[in-house]
A and B are shown apart, each in its own frame.
Chain A
Amino acid sequence: MATREYSFYPGCSSEKKTSASNYMVSVESMCKTLDVKLNEIPDWNCCGASIGYAEGGELPRTVMNARNLALAEEDSPGQDIVATCAACWLGTRESHERLGKDETLLNDTIESLKEAGINYEHKPEKNIRHMAEVLIEDIGYDEIGSHVSKPLEGVKIAGYVGCQTNRPFGIHGESYENPKYLDKLVETLGADPVEDYDQKVTCCGGALAFSEPEKSQNQIKKILESAYDFGAEMIVTPCPVCQMNVEVYQDQINKAHGTKFHIPVTYYSQLMTVAFGGNAKEAGLNGNIIKAKKLEEIAAK
């Protein structure tokens, strides 16, 4: 199998010393094993994220994403763009779709980007994809399974998909309400998926974790509770915002509600790296505030 190559949009949270830097570490390790080459978009900028709307209107947000699209095309013409962050994926894809549908928006965007010396040319055929799509659609469970050298035996993992990896686009063939791909992936890696986990698409509050912490933490509490109720030892997610929200507020929730949550929240890429035989560092396990001990043990084997 030849090397798979993609134009890559890592997103702000993946930078060094940011909230999802360990995600990035594990993605790199995972891709190495899978022989996937990621061509980082040169000088990419923020997607505007889902909270950018208030001050930045539709056009400024679109301009930001169009800038990335143009830079990607210039650097890696014809390649699909892959994002690891749900918001990045969603923002870019949404903007790309609108540019294809709304001529005024397109022209305004072109005009704006000229100011930055960028010529935006709309490529309707351009695919903007999430890393999970690449794994499932391009590589497939079988091939992923073939790389597993340290099956994650006996680890019960709840697949928390969250919102934006799942809606409104989602992974082809999966349901918005009960996507199963994380469970299938967990199974492929030799772990035990908690299939009945019933909060897999519950919103963690997203950016409102900052501005409306109480409301968001009520959501996170539901997500954690169900994982415990169904016997999960670990939560896995494809989204940096989900990962952070579900992981870092556990102590605050415990304080507020008298609960005793302490459950590791990992990225799928961390699971894969470990299952593929990578060590704890390669899997970015040092980046987990709540240590994924079981993974560390397997990685150390």
Chain B
Amino acid sequence: MSNTAMVKKYRNDFLREVEEKVEEGDWVRMCMQCGVCAGSCPLGDAWEHPPQEIFMMIRAGKREEVLGSDSMWMCTSCYNCIVRCPRELPITHIMHGLANYAHRLGLAPKANPTRRFAKIFWDNIATSGRVNELKLSLGLYFMDGFGNGIKKALAMKDVGLGLLKTGRLDPMGLFKAGGIKDKSGLQKALKKAREIEDTRKGY
């Protein structure tokens, strides 16, 4: 599926695409537009389009607006929507799935901080098998360049200091190997998984 797939309004083209490509996407059709998910989201104010509206947009064929939206990136994975949904839609997962799909297609908003953080996070764990919190934080702070990074890091220095003082942050984290023993095995498994997924979803 290319980035410019043609979709007709209120036809099932985009819905089918979502069903095929997006994690748990085949649940989208079951939404009855009650809006309980929209109201349950802790970061609701930050959603340009709440989940229920996204589901309607999918049905209406608004492909670019959905995949280009930063709404899904506001998901904190709190699972409120999932447990309240009267139709048992795994909304959290669908949001993750849509975000992943949009990201993989390159349609997700480039500047979205959560998207960028998520990428850093994954690269962090996929390489070493475990989270290196210092690398992760620094990676996050410096993702907008060195100057911004210093600024952000300074803003967060008290937090870091607190953690340092209580032995909850490793100042040597940057230089330590860390992670699991069988890094290469995990990396190979993840590479394979990625390959299979790419093939299945046609990325």
- A and B: direct contact (Cβ < 8 Å)? yes
Could you give, for residues 100-115 of chain A, a 1 whenever the CB lies within 8 Å of some chain B CB and a 0 otherwise? 0000000011011111
A21, A55, A219 — which one has the most chain B CB atoms within 10 A of its CB? A55
Size bracket, chain A contacts? 35 or more
Could you give, for residues 201-244 of chain A, a 1 whenever the CB lies within 8 Å of some chain B CB and a 0 otherwise? 01101111011100110010000000000000000000000000
A127 interfacial contact with B, CB 8 Å? no
The stretch of B30-38, B53-61, B190-198 in contact with A is B190-198
Is the beta-carbon distance between A215 and B83 smaller than 8 angstroms?
no
Size bracket, chain B contacts? 35 or more
Is the beta-carbon distance between A64 and B83 smaller than 8 angstroms?
no
Is the beta-carbon distance between B77 and A286 smaller than 8 angstroms?
no
B107 interfacial contact with A, CB 8 Å? no
A56 interfacial contact with B, CB 8 Å? yes
Choose from B119, B123, B168 the contact partner of A19 (Cβ within 8 Å).
B168
B-chain residues with CB within 8 Å of residue A118 when the two chains form the complex: 185, 189
B52 interfacial contact with A, CB 8 Å? no
A-chain residues with CB within 8 Å of residue B119 when the two chains form the complex: 54-55
Is the beta-carbon distance between B167 and A287 smaller than 8 angstroms?
yes
Q: With A and B bound together, what is the CA distance between A62 and B97 in angstroms?
A: 13
Choose from B79, B84, B185 the contact partner of A115 (Cβ within 8 Å).
B185
Choose from B74, B76, B114, B193 the contact partner of A63 (Cβ within 8 Å).
B193
B-chain residues with CB within 8 Å of residue A289 when the two chains form the complex: 162-163, 165-166, 168
Query: How many pairs of A and B residues are in contact by the CB < 8 Å rule?
Result: 225
B84, B140, B162, B196 — which one has the most chain A CB atoms within 10 A of its CB? B196
Is the beta-carbon distance between B43 and A208 smaller than 8 angstroms?
yes
The stretch of A72-80, A181-189, A248-256, A265-273 in contact with B is A248-256
B142 interfacial contact with A, CB 8 Å? no
B100 interfacial contact with A, CB 8 Å? yes
Main secondary structure of the interface of A (DSSP, over half): loop
A-B pairs, 6 with minimum CB distance: A116-B185, A54-B118, A50-B77, A55-B122, A167-B79, A17-B170
26 contacts between A and B (CB under 8 A): A13-B131, A18-B169, A18-B170, A19-B133, A19-B163, A49-B121, A53-B100, A54-B100, A54-B114, A55-B118, A56-B122, A57-B100, A63-B193, A64-B186, A108-B200, A112-B196, A117-B185, A163-B76, A163-B79, A168-B79, A202-B42, A203-B76, A208-B76, A212-B43, A215-B43, A252-B159
Interface contacts beyond A53-B23, A55-B122, A215-B43: sample of 4 additional A-B pairs, CB < 8 Å, sorted by A: A15-B130, A60-B190, A60-B197, A108-B197
The chain B residues found within 8 Å of chain A, CB to CB, are 23, 42-43, 46, 73-74, 76-80, 82-84, 92, 96-97, 99-100, 103-104, 113-119, 121-123, 125-126, 129-131, 133, 136-137, 140, 155, 158-159, 162-163, 165-170, 173, 180-182, 185-186, 188-194, 196-197, 200-201
